[in-house]
């Protein structure tokens, strides 16, 4: 059984809802969820906020946090994105992801393949973390999606 099928079963069984905030994945996470019939029983929607201005406008990410304190690829930004999605969709859980898929855009401190994640529940931030993936752009996106879903599944056990 695919991980997105296991997520759907768990969310429906627990009568809970999910929202996403995607940057690096550009809608790939949402696409995997909605390929399965009845995803509308738990999946509220996604905001694909690729540009910093979209993160500010649609997810209420603070410009100061984005431009000065942490940069767009950080756990703080992932947390802010997840909180924004949680508020916009009024969901039980939200999952956010931001990162650098490459081939350009990396730096010594944040190389290509750096991805930051956050999961928010009704009690606030449940988990945030950073991972580093290898491979080309699509491989990084696929690995990030798989890891995000895996960690989310463990949070709703």
Three-class DSSP category at 15: coil
Query: Among 13-17, 39-43, 66-70, 87-91, where is mean pLDDT lowest?
Result: 66-70
Q: Which domains does the chain have, with CATH numbers?
A: 3-155 (3.90.950.20)
Asked if 71 contacts 98 with a C-beta cutoff of 8 angstroms, the reply is: no
Q: What span, in angstroms and rounded, lies between the C-alpha atoms of 135 and 88?
A: 33
Contacts of 61 (CB under 8 A, 6+ apart): 49, 52, 55, 77, 80, 81, 84
pLDDT above 70 (res 69): no
Query: Which pTM does this prediction carry?
Result: 0.96
pLDDT band of 138, cuts 50, 70, 90: very high
pLDDT above 90 (res 17): yes
Asked if 22 contacts 97 with a C-beta cutoff of 8 angstroms, the reply is: yes
Per-residue pLDDT, 71: 82
pLDDT band of 106, cuts 50, 70, 90: confident
Which runs of consecutive H residues, i.e. helices, occur in 1-155? 3-13, 28-34, 52-59, 63-64, 75-89, 137-155
């Amino acid at each position: 059984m695919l991980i997105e099928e296991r997520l759907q079963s768990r969310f429906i069984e627990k009568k809970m809802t999910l929202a996403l905030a995607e940057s690096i994945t550009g809608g790939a996470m949402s696409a995997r969820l909605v390929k399965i019939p009845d995803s509308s029983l738990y999946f509220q929607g996604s905001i694909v906020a690729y540009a910093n201005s979209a993160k500010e406008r649609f997810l209420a990410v603070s410009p100061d946090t984005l431009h000065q304190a942490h940069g767009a690829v950080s756990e703080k930004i992932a947390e802010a994105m997840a909180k924004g999605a949680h508020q916009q969709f009024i969901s039980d859980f939200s999952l956010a992801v931001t990162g650098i898929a490459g081939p350009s855009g990396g730096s010594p401190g944040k190389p290509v393949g750096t991805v930051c994640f956050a999961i928010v529940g009704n009690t606030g931030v449940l988990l945030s973390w950073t991972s580093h993936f290898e491979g080309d752009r699509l491989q990084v996106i696929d690995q990030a999606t798989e890891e995000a879903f895996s960690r989310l599944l463990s949070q709703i056990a």
